[in-house]
Amino acid sequence: MDVKLSIDGEMWKQRRQRLKALMGTNPSEREQEPAQSDKFMDPFLYVAAKEGDVDKFIEALEDHCAKEGVSLPIVLGLTSPSSKNTLLHAAAESDDIVRAIIDFVPEYLISAKNSRSETPLIIAARAGKTNAVELLLPQGNPDHDWNCDSALHEAVRNRRYEVIRLLVSEKPEMLCRRNGESKSPWCLAVETGDVEVLKCLLEAPDEGEDERRLEKAQGIDTAFGMSPVHLAIMYQKKDMLTEMWEKKPWLFKLRDADYRLPLHYAAYMNYLDGVKFMIEKSSKSVLEQGFVNGYLPIHVACLRDHVRIVVELLQQWPDPAEFISRERENILHVAARYGSIWTVNYILKDAEFGHLVNARDSDMNTPLHLAALHWRPSVLLLLAGDRRVDLKLVNKNNMTALDVVEQDMKGMDAPLRKRLTRKILARAGTPRSGELAIWGPTRQSKGKELEPPELARLKEEANTRMVVATLVAAMTFASGFSVPGGFNDSDTGAGIAILLHKAMYNVF
């Protein structure tokens, strides 16, 4: 072993002597900047550098310097025609060549960028050349390329485990640098799907820096970028969630662009295992609001109509009335607002949720009001067909659900969806508000204004019946293949009993 090391040391000594002989005798030449822009690197030198054979490369350098009568510093400063790579760029994928020439390369060239804004360090990291990275890192500025990808981004993307460990150990601040896609190396690790890459990042020394990083990352103008936990949820990588929770739990406090926590996003993505994981690790997150609208995770599940997530989250608190948004909306309010028919059906079928049916939000709107306000005819079929729903209730503007729909309708100019919404409410027996005539402007002519001429009315009737037929089919499927007119108050609470009321039957 000692003999082998001795021989190897002697070989490197000879290589250095050969390169030193190419430096020239004029000190001014050593500081000379690259020649004119029309001077490019010799293609044979470029190929020799890319091939990675250090002895052939030195021989090519000797031949070129002798032929052109130039010194090594000038040759090292030349670039390729298009990509603007220096010899160090070309040699960055070879540990041996970088080792041979690093001490002869002027400092400004070690951090030089090619046409893609890549430094030799970035190229070496991408290629997984640990020794080259180790030599370039102390001297070359660990900058980023045109897409703001750092050397660590490239090492992670290409799964260069040893390079990742080296960079994380020497430059841990690179962990939180985001690229042009607002992704940190953490995020790229998740995207690779390789848990070993993520583990390399998690080995980063803490030294009390995690809390500082979290504080910085939670700012409005976050320097951290996209949350890796949210990405792990998107790709449903439970093993990665586990690793991050065990090593860097502060990552779970990061919010996404809409200021949602990981549990919100798991509910949004309908990722049941992710929801269960978050609840197991932090049950309090069930009651944490998003910053924008004050929605809880269960509200997100409701607006996305993810019933199984709603069921799971309901198990975390005995009274569903406690799941209130900043605007005092309960889960039925949210489901009705966004037209989530499966969630509305589930809530209406359970007698324990009866106190949600006529609950008011901060504007005194019931779920029926919100379904009408946002023109959700499918949801209105469910709500208006439930005997527990009080059709006469008014909001803070003294409007019933029918008033809410009619306030911005203009006869036949109203979209079909609006007209259908109004027809469902009217045929269900929803009254206009008597209080509105006292409190607000007169509406005596509103009813006639909304009545189309006879021929137009007949065409509208036909169109409406076609749309309603589609809705009935959807409602029948949603109710477990029960026919319209199922039992709304049966022991099991099954059925979307639309046709129990004769008035509702007339809609169809």
* Secondary structure of 455-496 in HEC code, one letter for each residue: HHHHHHHHHHHHHHHHHHHHHHHHCCCCCCCCCCCCCCCCCC
Give per-residue pLDDT as tens, 338-367.
999 999 999 999 999 999 999 999 999 999
**Model confidence band, residue 408 (pLDDT cutoffs 50, 70, 90):** confident
Give per-residue pLDDT as tens, 102-156.
999 998 999 999 999 999 999 999 999 999 999 999 875 667 777 889 999 999 9
What is the pLDDT, as a whole number, of residue 495? Answer: 42
Q: What torsion, rounded to 10 degrees, do the Cα atoms 377, 379, 382, 388 define?
A: -110
Question: What CATH topology corresponds to 155-206+221-248?
Answer: 1.25.40
Give per-residue pLDDT as tens, 24-66.
755 454 444 444 445 889 999 999 999 999 999 999 999 999 9
Mean residue pLDDT of the chain comes to 83
What is the pLDDT, as a whole number, of residue 218? Answer: 52
Q: Percent of the chain having pLDDT more than 70?
A: 76
Say which residue, 180 or 462, is predicted with more confidence.
Answer: 180
What is the pLDDT, as a whole number, of residue 447? Answer: 47
pLDDT at 441 exceeding the cut of 60: no
Whole-model pTM: value is 0.79
Which residues of the chain does CATH 1.25.40.20 include?
14-143, 155-206+221-248
Long-range contacts of 50-58 (CB under 8 A, 24+ apart): 50/90, 50/91, 50/93, 52/91, 52/93, 52/94, 52/96, 52/97, 54/15, 54/94, 54/96, 54/97, 54/99, 54/100, 55/15, 57/91, 57/97, 57/100, 58/15, 58/18, 58/19, 58/100
Q: Right CATH number for 14-143 from 3.30.300.30, 3.30.420.130, 1.25.40.20, 2.60.120.260?
A: 1.25.40.20
**Model confidence band, residue 416 (pLDDT cutoffs 50, 70, 90):** confident
